[in-house]
Amino acid sequence: MAENGGGTYFKKCTSGEVLPSPTPASAFDRERSPRELIPDNFGVFPEIVKSLRSKYFFIYFVGQLFSLSGFWIQQIAMSWLVLRLSPKGDLVSFSTVVFLAQIPTLFLTPFSGLVCDMFDRRKILICTQTLVMLQTFALAFLTLSGAITIPIIMSLSLFFGIVCAFDAPARQSFYSRLVPAENLGNAIALNSIAINATRLIGPPIGGFLIGAFGEGICFLVNAMAFVAVLIALFLIKTKPLNLEKTGKNPLGQIAGGFVYMWKSIPLRSIVILLAAFSFFGVPFIMVFPAFVKDVLLKDSSILGVLMSCVGVGAIGCAVYLAARKSVLGLGKVVMLSCILFGAAEIIMAFSRELWLVGLLCVPLGFGMIAVGASSNTLLQTIVDEDKRGRIMSIFTMCLFGIPPAGSLVYGWLGKYVGLEGVMVAGGVICVLTGLVFMKMRPIIRKHTRRIYVEKGIISEIAVGLRSTNTRI
């Protein structure tokens, strides 16, 4: 039996047993058709929540809703606090805090991925979530007592970044332990819906709490929200994985994860595309406030409206991905979404009409989530279980660790060619990246098909197993 976390890909046919009905091989061939981009079911809305039928995923999802709401409340409070404490709203301090909170992901995730493959991911999450909760309580206490300073915030942000470097790959690879394999993509998409839905409601609540009680209360609310996700993690009971012990030293095992990724054409292709997108595309979202303020010459209220438009596109994409029945066709979704994001960024660089910028924000949000969530699903579908933590650490490194470096390049080049020029360059590279990988897609499909056959995702494996059983 080959398992992917909580679900079974296929089962060898013994006397009296019936093989599950995998996706027909012809469906893989139809991936060349544009129809693969459209969810091929009429029960879309029931399908969107199908992962919630899994008891443990439902418990975890509810806990995540509370935790994510608290996170977005804290994000606006942290921004406001740093700008308030900085002399004359110094943006350098603000960007440094953001950088320190994210850059550890770039350097530590290879090690954290190995930890995920060596230890129980649920226990890792309990440890990381507890540490972040304690960090948030410390932030709340220092803010409410008036002892908070910019250096303290930077130190706490760096600590947060280090812990998150271990939390993110464990969280990404934990979904496979909560849902059947065929619902993995749906679970990841539902998580994207949760992230972006709470993104819409968290900041307004945070803004109200700041005006009424100050930033410290926002941090306290976020710290309390961690209780929900910790309760969920303690309620979840998963069977331990019997992973093979290689006997290699840690550095050798980390290197083995990169070698495994590089030798697999599908894995390598996804990671390279994601890295390019994260360096040249995603940083624009991070510097988007500067575009609104310095290029469009608008205030923070307009920024909030435009960010909501980005959120609408992101939620729309998450719903679209959740409604898909199969992983087949996701490669095309990733490549076309990369092109869509780049094209929207290029057009926006020349746009000054507010209504047009708002419209362009929707494909930006859609493309950002489509590339990230679809790449996540593809990687988790293709990867072997004993390499899952290390591959998801590479995914996390690309998605969260590379953009801070890209944003520094955006800011540095923006001084010389203007932000609009950098936007055009970044958008062009995203479009070209998508086109190059679209050209290489037949080779990628050939190797991906073999993996899908081995895992029973397409029906050729059923024929092979029956033949084997007949010979036996």
pLDDT tens figures, 412-443 = 777 778 878 888 999 999 999 999 988 888 88
List, for residues 203-237, the tens digit of each pLDDT value: 677 777 877 888 889 999 999 988 888 998 888 88
Give whole-number Cα distances, 313 to 48, 116, 309, 363, 364, in Å: 17, 32, 6, 6, 7
Tokens 């292709």: give the residue.
269
Confidence bin at 463 (pLDDT 50/70/90): very low
Q: DSSP H helical segments within 89-214, as ranges?
A: 91-102, 104-118, 121-144, 150-174, 184-213
- Residues facing 3 on adjacent strands: 8
CA-closest candidate to residue 102, choices 410, 426, 429, 406: 406
What pLDDT was estimated at residue 267? 85
pLDDT tens-digit readout, 9-58: 333 333 333 333 445 545 445 555 555 655 555 455 566 677 777 888 88
Give the pLDDT of residue 461. 38
Q: Specify the pLDDT at position 42.
A: 46
Tell me which residue has tokens 């510097």.
Answer: 287
Nearest by Cα to 396 from 65, 123, 114: 114
> What pLDDT score does 432 carry?
95
Nearest to 210 by CA among 377, 299, 97, 81: 81
| Predicted confidence (pLDDT) per residue in 360-405, tens digit | 999 998 999 889 888 888 887 787 767 776 787 788 778 877 887 7
Lowest pLDDT segment from 15-19, 74-78, 236-240, 332-336: 15-19
Residue 303 tokens, joined: 């920024």
How many CB atoms are closer than 10 A to CB 375? 26
CA pair distance 423, 280, nearest whole angstrom: 9
> Token pair of 449, please?
């098909």
Q: What percent of the chain has pLDDT over 70?
A: 76
The two most distant CA atoms of the chain are separated, in Å, by: 79
pLDDT for res 363: 93
Cα radius of gyration rounded to whole Å, the chain = 23
Identify the band that residue 8 occupies on the pLDDT scale cut at 50, 70 and 90: very low
Phi, psi for 2 (deg, rounded to 5): -105, 125
Give the distance, in angstroms, between the CA of residue 460 and the centroid of all CA atoms in the same chain.
31
Please determine, for residue 252, whether its predicted confidence score (pLDDT) is greater than 60.
yes
Is the pLDDT at 467 greater than 50? The verdict is no
3-state DSSP assignment of residue 177? helix
pTM for the model: 0.66
Average pLDDT in the 71-86 region? 79
Domains, in order of start, for the chain: 29-238+249-439 (1.20.1250.20)
The pLDDT, as a whole number, for residue 314 is: 83
pLDDT of residue 37: 59
**Is residue 272 over pLDDT 50?**
yes
| Listed range (236-250, 277-291, 330-344) with the worst mean pLDDT | 236-250
Average pLDDT for the chain: 76
